[in-house]
Structure 1
Amino acid sequence: MKKLNIAYIGFGKSTNRYHIPYVKSRDNMRIGRIYARTLGKNLIAQAELEATGTIFTTDVADIIDDETIDLVVVVTPANTHFALVKQLLLAGKNVMVDKPAVEKLSEMEELIDIAKMKNCFFMPFQNRRFDSDFLTVEHILKTGYLGRIIDLEVHMDHFRPDETIYQASKINGAFYGHGVHLVDQMIALFGKPEKVSYDIRATRNPQSHVDDHFEVGLFYADNMKATIQATEMALVSYPKWLIQGTNGSYIKYNMDQQENDLKSGIMPSARGFGEDVPQDFGKLTYFNQSGDRIEKFMPAIVGDYGRIYDNVFDVLVNGAEKVVTDAQMLAVIELLENGFG
């Protein structure tokens, strides 16, 4: 059986929480090399991987020069992505990069062009395509329970008061950081919108130069509107999803449980990983074909961030199509960049 030999650039929280646990749970993948700017910061995790044959390095060239590497995954600060991915693609490496992939549409266009020229795989790690709540919404929309969609709201809310005055690039703000997930989900569901309205602000400390709050309206055909919103100042969160259609409504409060389980040390291979408890099920209200009003709680489709790795494997080994297309990658970055004029 073909095993995908993966190298990571970056060995911080994101690599150890959102990537490595899913790769470890798959028999058709192995972690060949890991670049870390400084070794020894996570000695236990490093030792566990070294025991299975993973080689650690402080030199990116070691990964570039290793011809056995099938895929390089870049999990570094967002403002380093463009230069690193460009270097790797020019060296002929297949690359998946954490999100946001880049800051500018022109950068995304350049990377896509290089990938095509070098015949390399290139895709952002849009793991929220495989959130349980998103997969459930996708299913509900496809089944037609709600009829024609009129309004959709999706939130990513936290309560993190912080009076610090931040001064950094916009790629470090909430719209690029959280909005990249929600924009990508809307692009996946409905495609590129016809019109977009933006409300992007710094609310925790109005003197800050980095946004922490956004409400963005995406307008589609037939007067349908999707609103994506995130804030760091919601002590009581909004519903995660609120959808109104011509035949019904759907409301769900809590988000996917994978992240909470991972933070608790529960791994993807564990029984019940990422599953919603019944009190967190979304409520679907609609009229059936007999005109009866139906109310039922929908169990969430279990999410799995590792499915994006499954897609990479299928693309590289079996010639499948990328789950995040080049057109979608471009549309996401264009919408993010346009939010700042």
Structure 2
Amino acid sequence: MKEMNIAYVGFGKSTNRYHIPYVKTRDHMKIKRVVNRSLGKRPKEQAALEATGTVFSTALSDIITDDSIDLVVVVTPAFAHYDTVKQLLMGGKNVLCDKPLVETAQEAKTLIDLANEKGLFFMPFQNRRFDSDFLTVKKVIEAGYLGDLIDITVNMDHFRANDATSGQPFDGAWYGHGVHLVDQMISLFGKPSSVSYDIRSVRQEDAVDDYFNVNLMYPKLRATVAATEVAALPHPKWIVYGTRGTFVKATVDQQENDLKVGIMPGTEGFGCDTPDDFGTVTYYNGNGDRIEKRIPSVTGDYARVYDAVYETIMNGREKLVTDEQILAVIETLEHGFH
């Protein structure tokens, strides 16, 4: 299998938590370069990569002029995404960009058009398509337990009562958390026919939004995405109603929890639910019998985004996140404030 050489722009928490540990589980992916505005802030992590041949520097041009780089992953603060990605695409590089990708649909369209014009790969890092809970919901829907879907709700709740911050809408929960949940719904059902928004700042009046409850409407389905930062008792992560059954999963994907305590991808049991965390489907079978069944969780794996990128760049496969989906997600986010 041909090796894919990767460069990172940004070397903060996200790069070291959600990207590099996963890439290290793939033998055919090599981290060739890291560019960051300042070096030495993470000396242990930097030294570990340098020991395997990764070159660190502070200039974006070092990546652009390196013809061996197959993919550049942008993990800068979100406000810098647009300009950084545009420079890289202009320099002829394939780009995977963390999310939220950009603030406006026009910015997204400009980058998509530029990539297509130059024949380059460009996609957001929608890793939560490979959350365990989302993969399990997909499995239940595809198995047919629920019949025709009527109503689906996904929540992303935390309890951070004293963490209100000021800033722009791009810095708030709707863009920060909503980007994951909206993308999950659009990946399942496509672009909604209409959207109704309830986006608020509940912890502090002049702070960025920290609560949302947004309904994506489809011809026969309402898909609700919701989040709050003041949930002392969180909502169930998923509630899915259909004409024949209901699926409820209370708990979230465990990958992030494991990463936070230093358990790495590739470790036995990484990201796995315990049986207590399995979701429950309640449905009526063809005889009219009411059945309740625990559904073992599908194991999540954010490295599968990189697998998909590899297949597109190296083998010409279709992109995991299509251009149409990219635009639909950003449009949905942007319209929440217009």
Q: Under TM normalisation by the shorter chain, which class is it?
A: over 0.9
In the TM superposition, what is the alpha-carbon distance from 1:37 to its structure 2 partner? 1.2
User: For residues 219-234 of structure 1, what are the structure 2 equivalents within 5 Å?
Assistant: 219-222=217-220, 224-234=221-231
Aligned: 1:74 with 2:74: yes
User: In terms of mean alpha carbon deviation, does 105-114 or 286-295 score higher?
Assistant: 286-295
Give distance in 2, aligned partners of 1:322 and 1:289: 39
- 8 Å CA contact retained: 2:166, 2:206: no
Letter in 2 for 1:64: I
The CA deviation string for residues 14-39 of structure 1, in whole angstroms up to 9 with x for no partner, is 00000000100001100000011111
**Deviation string for 1:176-202 (max 9, x for gaps)?**
000000000000111111110000000
Within the candidate set 302, 307, 312, 2:309 is matched to: 312
Partner Cα distance (2:129, 2:171) in 1: 22
Q: 2:265 corresponds to which letter in structure 1?
A: P
1:246 aligns with 2:243: yes
Secondary structure of the equivalent of 1:183?
helix
Q: Which runs of 5+ in 2 are unaligned?
A: none
Specify the code of the residue in structure 2 equivalent to 1:219: M
Q: Give the Cα–Cα distance (whole angstroms) in 2 for the partners of residues 91 and 39 of structure 1.
A: 23
- Shift of residue 168, structure 1, vs aligned partner: 1.7
State the match for 1:280 in structure 2: 277
Distance 2:162 2:98 in 1: 25
1:174 is matched with which residue?
173
Q: Write the distance in 2 (CA, Å) between the matches of 1:243 and 1:257.
A: 20
Question: Contact (CA 8 Å) 1:162, 1:205: kept in 2 or not?
Answer: no
Aligned pairs for 1:88-107 within 5 A: 88-107=88-107
Rounded to whole Å, the distance in 1 between the matches of 2:274 and 2:139 is 19
Per-residue deviation, 1:162 = 2.0
- When normalised by structure 2's length, the TM-score is 0.99
Q: How many angstroms does 1:167 deviate by?
A: 3.1
Matched, 1:87 2:108: no
Distance 1:5 1:191 in 2: 33
Report the aligned-residue RMSD.
Answer: 0.8
Q: Distance in 2 between matches of 1:289 and 1:317?
A: 46
Moved over 2 A (4+): none
Cα pair 1:174 1:214 within 8 Å, conserved: yes
Given that residues 163 and 205 in structure 1 are in contact (C-alpha distance below 8 angstroms), is that contact kept between their aligned partners in structure 2? Answer: no
Percent identity of equivalent pairs = 60
How many equivalent pairs are there? 338
- Shift in Å, 1:290: 2.4
Displacement, 1:163? 6.3
One-letter amino acid of the structure 2 residue matched with residue 150 of structure 1: I
Partner of 1:215: 213
Aligned AA (1:134): F
In structure 2, what is the Cα distance between the partners aligned to 1:69 and 1:206? 46
CA distance in 1, matches of 2:228, 2:124: 24
- 3-state SS of paired residue (2:99): coil
CA deviation digits over 1:72-116, x for unaligned, max 9? Answer: 000011110000000000110000000010000000000000001
- CA distance in 2 between counterparts of 1:205 and 1:178 reads 18
Structure 1 residue 131: Cα displacement: 0.3
* Segment drifting more, 287-296 vs 318-327: 287-296
1:59 Cα deviation from its structure 2 partner: 1.0
Unaligned runs of 5+ in 1: none
Match of 1:334 among 328, 331, 335: 331
What SS class does the counterpart of residue 251 from structure 1 fall into?
strand
TM-score with structure 1 length normalisation?
Answer: 0.98
